[in-house]
Amino acid sequence: MTIQWFPGHMTKARRQIEEKLRLIDAAIELLDARLPQSSRNPMIDRILRGKPRLVLLNKCDLADPAVTEEWVAFFAGQGLAALPVDSQSGRGVKEILPRLKELLAERTAKRAEKGMRPGAVRALIVGIPNVGKSTLINRLAGRKVAATGDKPGITKGQQWIKAGGELELLDTPGVLWPKFEDPDVGMRLAITGAVKEEILPVEEVAFAAVRYMLAHYADALRERYALEMPPSGSFDSDAIVGVMEQIGKARGCLRSGGQVDLEKASLSVLRDLRSGKLGRVSLERPESVS
């Protein structure tokens, strides 16, 4: 789902999250482990207003594990607990509750002093579209939870989803926007498929992906498509077109005259990258954060 964000939508989204803050103990900020910076909302600190927060690096099954570790350390340096998870398979998801409890330990102790029982942790999941919010909610709930948008005209009470005895989630995740005024952010999101093809031409996206892969994961490209590589360091546009043509041939993306169909080749390489067939690839590293 791609949402067209306009200033009015952003204000509404922000207000909806701010209204929910008083209902929750902690926020779960969901990021894409392959691009934690680009999948982040630029105003998140202001929106969450110091609420205890757990950062989840979702889709960690697709990201480079060494780089994901660097991101965990990066967030720790900012005073944020971060945990890699794979909501699709469930890996790491069991760690979420203990981490939330750690975050809330001081508050729980104070309550205990007053004779109050800890109660279930109440949390809200927030993140940009396509980052995996629904998948995570379903995984935590252990069942498919119907998506219940905040539809105008329908008044409904706030629903809590029970995720075991000790965790409750607000049923409607907070949908945030990325920093899409930055063209590099838009391009990286497009490479993962979070920004749909209609918005950026697929060939442009594939070229950017192949350029990045040549610089950081050249072996994975070479192995999958049996590439003859351009000399290292000379990845100009011609070299990338040459690589795209080889990919097209390797994948049988040909027109009737035998010419490579670059659009098909582009779709093919992006599909491979997004589904993990090119291995575990991270598109951003903490040192690139400005």
Residues of this chain that interact with ligand G4P (CB under 6 A) are 1, 58-59, 61-62, 86-88, 127, 129-135
Give the residue with the Cβ less far from ligand G4P, 21 or 135: 135
Give the residue with the Cβ less far from ligand G4P, 44 or 62: 62
Long-range CB contacts (within 8 A, 24+) of 261-266: 262/203, 263/202, 263/203, 265/206, 266/202, 266/203, 266/205, 266/206, 266/207
Secondary structure string (H, E, C) spanning 161-183: EECCCCEEEECCCEECCCCCCCH
**Nearest distance from C-beta of residue 275 to ligand G4P, angstroms:** 8
**Nearest distance from C-beta of residue 83 to ligand G4P, angstroms:** 12
Distance of CA 93 to the CA centre of its chain: 15
Give the residue with the Cβ less far from ligand G4P, 180 or 222: 180
**Nearest distance from C-beta of residue 71 to ligand G4P, angstroms:** 15
Give the residue with the Cβ less far from ligand G4P, 57 or 269: 57
**Nearest distance from C-beta of residue 207 to ligand G4P, angstroms:** 23
Give 213: exposed, middle or buried? Use CB within 10 Å, 0-12, 13-18, 19+. Answer: buried
Q: Which residues are within 8 A (CB) of 95 and not within 5 positions of it... i.e. 6 or more apart?
A: 83, 85
**Nearest distance from C-beta of residue 136 to ligand G4P, angstroms:** 7
For 263, phi then psi, to 5°, come to -70, -45
The residue to which tokens 């209204």 are assigned: 19
CA dihedral 270, 274, 279, 281 (to 10 degrees): 100
Residue number of the CB atom closest to ligand G4P = 132
> 218-225 and 202-216 are packed helices; what angle lies between their axes, rounded to 10 degrees?
110
Give the residue with the Cβ less far from ligand G4P, 255 or 271: 271
**Nearest distance from C-beta of residue 224 to ligand G4P, angstroms:** 18
Give the residue with the Cβ less far from ligand G4P, 62 or 163: 62
